[in-house]
Structure 1
């Protein structure tokens, strides 16, 4: 029976992949990003952050695939090493947002009452600000570094996870298997962990996969206005910021970091769309 189940799962997976080639493209992009992060020391020149003014503003060529910047630093090496920082950015922002959003969403949706009212009004306050304004305000109030910038993004994002999970929990807790567990005297904590959360988490997975890309974009925006990465960090947004004054004369200095941001965000968005096809029954049934 296990062999049959495994074959059915493989067939379903193959069907999903054939049906959604954009999902496969997104997986390939993100897989490439992960491989670049892992293999960075072996595929880049040594010390890509080393300053060499004798080699500044060299165009793309055999020695420097993406050229060099105003400090003579190898842009290819910085972009590849930037993949590591991009993955770290995605992971930190999404994990912090989920760490706050999941408990608050479960409490608000499952228990309701005054707790729900307080949590929802608190999220209303956060969501009243434009998406980029609150992270800028928080990052400006803290010491300038990348970690504080990521915390600022997570603080402004967790209300979305709270609301998404709350809405799903409100539906799930009315299911017969949850009511049966209640009637058998099962504790609320056990019901939440065994029944409610596992059956309410699909929208969060979809949202988190897409936010992995948006986190990189938001962090790049903070770096662009001087509130994110430090000048010595190999972060794509910081590279674009450093090159904006010389972009017209030396196009490669900002183009390749910008393309890295674009392709990575695209990859995570394609994965999010594909996961929606797989996990959302309304879409899957079309």
Structure 2
């Protein structure tokens, strides 16, 4: 067991390589600098956020607090709903401008999770997907095709930039890939415990829907929190076969094995493009 600061500039790796590295709490939190960011007088929202303080320090700048907010890097952030509400928003459960209160997690997380670093996951048994937030649709990349969005997002306000913590809980989750138990105001139920990318052989990161009997589309339970499936449920036939998409209803067996649905994570994951059209991003 080793404990150390994750150091170095973005895109570099530690030269120290023990048999097993466990990234400790102090990789992201400098215990000598940490300050309370959110003050709450009780268990209910709203609270008071002090943006001059932070619990975080960039791994590449561990000697200073990271106090940047997402409003410093984009004007296109839309905060998700506060849990159980459709009128108040994260991070503090109030209304109004939330971007100036939300930590700039894309900048913080991509200090390590970027296109230069290769990070191996012992739990997944593979390298983590590299993230190019400048091109991904959920990042600074342009959205396209039919979005079918739920509130507080709308098709009139597409190209919104997300915060990494809108979907992920870095301190642990019962769901795969640290997906939050609740997203955009509602709980994800049932838990998402397996996706195709972990369960099936892949080529270039994709599963092979035509040769697979894995119809598990549980990842759609996450997608449903911001996008609408067919009739509001976890079915996606209409959105994928809409006339202006690349998948007209013909020769179903070319993509579907014995009529099974295609697992969402066959095509939608960090760094993915359409497996049938490499010029089109799918996340």
What TM-score, normalized by structure 1, do the two folds share? 0.20
- Higher RCO (C-alpha under 8 Å, 6+ residues apart): 1
TM-score, structure 2 as length reference: 0.20
Quick check: which one's strand share is greater?
A: 2
